[in-house]
Amino acid sequence: MSLTSQIKEYALNIGYSKIGIIPAENFPEYIDDLTKRNEMYDFYVKSPYRPLAIADLKSLMPNAKSIITTVYDYAQKSFPKELTNKIGRVYQARSYDPPPEYINGARPELMRTFLRKLSCEVGEKIALPERVVAAKAGVTNYGRNGFAYAEGIGSFIYLKSFIVDRELEYDNPTRKEVCPVGCTACMKACPTKAIYEPHKINPLRCIAFHTFLTQEGMAGSYIQPEIREKMGTKIQGCDICQDVCPLNQERLKSILPEDEYLVKVAQDFSLSQVLNMTDEFYDTRVRPLLFNYIKERKYFQRNAAIALGNLRDPAFVPDLAFAMDDPEELVRGNAAWALGKIGVRSAKQVLEDKLGKETSEAVKEEIRQALSTG
């Protein structure tokens, strides 16, 4: 059996759904696109991922010869409705860049170990444009919502590539659009109009972006009120453009086995608990699902406050009132916004009581705005 066949069979054996291989070459089109839309992607270009560095891949790994790309189908089980309106499916599935002690984190580690046993050197910490790689390898196609689609699966997939120093047998590219002719369902459904033309997304308007990349040191922690109002009850990720896609309907309507772990989590997972989370709740319910992007709990609390405001349910006034005493001004400010959105007399009373006691000018301004619009 050839080296390429051994690699492909092993990848399928450990749970990957598809695998393809391309030469380790540069990605000029990807670099050009990032550069042209720099005002939208400045946060990413300047991040520790250094995506522009792959303009010269060989400078990162001089002996790179091949890129092995894998597709993991993370929607093989159903997702509880109680979580799906709050958390994107890829995060519920614990498959987005998980730590190695998780089964979906162990899989790429197993792949690296296997490649090294075959005497391959494996590149480390090199950020690749995964969707471009997968399309070049013929394992995915493109949707107008910007997601990669795998035949027979849809867009509920996680892509992971491995750079090695061996020449392998290469696959042919797909790089074609698979959407129904004239379909604009994703563009119409996006609440913030982040998909401004087919295949073009402005991340600065994307709900998912605002749930996890609006942090100090990244894109800043402030979320514009206009965006807050469109976030609904999402606290990490957003699947709206995938939910409405015709290509995903077969999977979404399929009767799939339950994920018993998610069923258990959903029983005691609520927005009010995220807003005023205890250490135990954080350790047992937040971290096990949402371990990848957000490292500080205050951002989850902020997102939960926004979600409660969008529900406009007076029953949550006591929870938001409690959050107005949180040590983090980010939490207090967004709790004030949420109380303003609920707008009932008890909510206004909380805001009026807190205004004179608040020490942060930013939070005071949120309170004033909430009182003027509530």
Structural domains in the chain, CATH included, are 1-173+184-267 (no CATH), 270-283+297-373 (1.25.10.10)
DSSP 169: P
DSSP 258: B
Closest CA to 306 of 207, 199, 164, 168: 207
Q: Report the DSSP beta bridge partners of residue 342.
A: none
Torsion over CA: 188, 192, 198, 199 (sign):
negative
End-to-end CA separation in angstroms for the chain: 69
Torsion over CA: 188, 191, 193, 199 (sign):
negative
Q: Report the DSSP beta bridge partners of residue 210.
A: none
φ, ψ (nearest 5 deg) of residue 130: -55, -40
For residue 34, the model assigns a pLDDT of 82
For residue 54, the model assigns a pLDDT of 79
Closest CA to 177 of 212, 148, 137, 139: 148
pTM of the model: 0.93
361 Cβ neighbours under 8 A, 6+ residues apart? none
Q: Report the DSSP beta bridge partners of residue 164.
A: 66, 122
Torsion over CA: 181, 182, 187, 189 (sign):
negative
Mean per-residue pLDDT pooled into runs of 10, the chain (374 residues): 96 98 92 83 78 83 97 97 96 92 95 98 92 95 93 95 97 84 95 93 94 88 96 97 96 96 96 97 93 90 98 98 98 98 97 95 97 81
